[in-house]
Amino acid sequence: MQVAKWGNSLAVRLPAELVRELGLKEGDQIDLVKDEGALRVRREPRAEEVLEGLRRFRGTLAPEDRLSRDAAHER
């Protein structure tokens, strides 16, 4: 891979095979992490993945653990 100038930044173009292997899409956010001498690519969760994870928790709190808007605004 080659490092190239992109505006005031540097960029690396990823080969298509690596993009497919990592399941990357345009607009994905990735982190490059040095892990015991190796460089790892970690994809940040997409918005729809985060929302799906939150939806799994909908309605799972016990009634005594639920927050009351009225109780939160009591003085």
List pLDDT tens digits, range 13-47. Answer: 989 998 999 899 999 999 988 989 898 888 899 98
Cα–Cα distance, 27 to 10 (Å, whole number):
17
Q: Is residue 54 part of a domain?
A: yes
**Domain count within the chain:** 1
Range of the domain at 53: 3-59
- 47, 36 Cβ separation under 8 angstroms: no
Task: Provide the CATH number for the domain around residue 29.
Answer: 2.10.260.10
As a whole number, mean pLDDT of residues 43-59 equals: 86
Asked if residue 14 lies in contact with residue 26, where contact means CB atoms within 8 angstroms, the answer is: no
* Residue 30, phi-psi category: left (phi > 0), alpha (psi -120 to 50), beta (remainder): beta
Confidence band of 8 (pLDDT split at 50, 70, 90): very high
**pTM value?**
0.55
Best CA proximity match to 27, nearest among 45, 10, 15: 45
Does some domain include residue 15?
yes
For all residues of the chain together, what is the average pLDDT?
Answer: 87
55 vs 64, more confident: 55
